[in-house]
Structure 1
Amino acid sequence: MHPNAQTLTRFYTAFAELDADAMGSCYSLDATFDDPAFSLKGQHEIAGMWHMLCNAARGNGKQDWRLDFNNLQANDSSGHVHWEARYRFTATRRQVHNIVEADFTFCPEGLIASHRDQFDFWRWSRQALGMGGWVLGWAPFFNTQMRRQTRAALDSHLAKNV
């Protein structure tokens, strides 16, 4: 198995176990992360996001958490993983099944340099938010508002856990 594939396997195995420390250790210090909810720079912010999300999943009951990954591919410079998470969304207590395509680049040391998760935000918002997500989840302003809220939650989490 390619060393970068080993990094991704280590990352997603830790994610399935909600081990945010192990997840954060897979990123380079100047890594970037982007998905429909977050745009982050640096290992500190990225690891903080994983800590916040893993804590929420544990708090909602580990029995409601499941992560599966497959189609893992990696070479010297890039990688790809298909992953699916099933969890209870904290704000509404609604069950979510998120289907994600993840793309990566790696630094020479074999750590993640960039990570981009892509998923259908409208599909996610309908599951997580119910009728409000159904009505507004497709709108760009709604996604912008969600990104502001997730950024504020992360900033608060980081301030409390420095």
Structure 2
Amino acid sequence: MSAAVIEAFYDAFSKRDAEGMVKHYADDVRFSDPVFQDLKGDDAKNMWRMLCERGKDLEVVASDVTENSAHWDATYTFALTRRKVLNRIDAKFTFEGDKIKTHTDAFDLYAWTRMAFGVTGVLLGWTGFFQSTLRKKALAGLVAFERENRHDRA
């Protein structure tokens, strides 16, 4: 059953259907990845809403789905630099009933910064300062999205 939920989650994501994705999340879900390190509840749901809304050329392909994991590739244009990115992600899940309770995405942040920022990413993307700044800006973008769309922060 869990594998079916994960497949439905990524099927909705491939259609940029955020509501179809977040309906599979528990109300108190926890999400983490190398950029958004600890989102809870509505913040996690709103991150997907933001990515689906803003990812005009986003393509998502999931594979290797199991009862508690999946691999997925996301291809999109990074808006800030207009550079094409292919992000290869391994996801792990825990469940509470038929709802996703925790969702952890793992990917190589330095590889991502090289694609997204080009030479700047090659030279600085590995540094703690650059990655910390990236995380702060991403979270600020989520907060702005939530304000613009009147989504409550958890």
TM above 0.5, yes or no, is yes
Verify: 1:95 aligned to 2:84, yes or no: yes
How many residue pairs match? The answer is 149
2:109 aligns with 121
How far, CA to CA, are the matches of 1:126 and 1:12 in structure 2?
26
Q: Matched residue of 2:16: which SS?
A: coil
Question: Which one-letter code corresponds to 1:136 in the other structure?
Answer: L
Question: Which one-letter code corresponds to 1:67 in the other structure?
Answer: V
Offset at residue 140 of structure 1 (A): 1.7
Detail structure 1 runs of 4+ shifted over 4 Å in the superposition: none
Offset at residue 128 of structure 1 (A): 0.6
TM-score (norm 1): 0.89
Offset at residue 68 of structure 1 (A): 1.0
What do you get for the CA RMSD once the two structures are aligned?
A: 0.9
Question: Which one-letter code corresponds to 1:114 in the other structure?
Answer: T
- Identity rate, percent: 37
Q: 2:118 aligned to 130, 145, 149, which one? A: 130
Offset at residue 95 of structure 1 (A): 0.4
1:41 aligns with 40
1:25 aligns with 23
Q: Which runs of no fewer than 5 residues in structure 2 stay unpaired?
A: none
1:143 aligns with 131
What are the residue-to-residue correspondences of 1:67-106 with 2, within 5 Å?
67-74=60-67, 79-106=68-95
Offset at residue 127 of structure 1 (A): 0.4
How far, CA to CA, are the matches of 1:55 and 1:91 in structure 2?
16
Verify: 1:56 aligned to 2:58, yes or no: no
1:10 aligns with 8
How far, CA to CA, are the matches of 1:143 and 1:111 in structure 2?
31
Q: Matched residue of 2:64: which SS?
A: strand
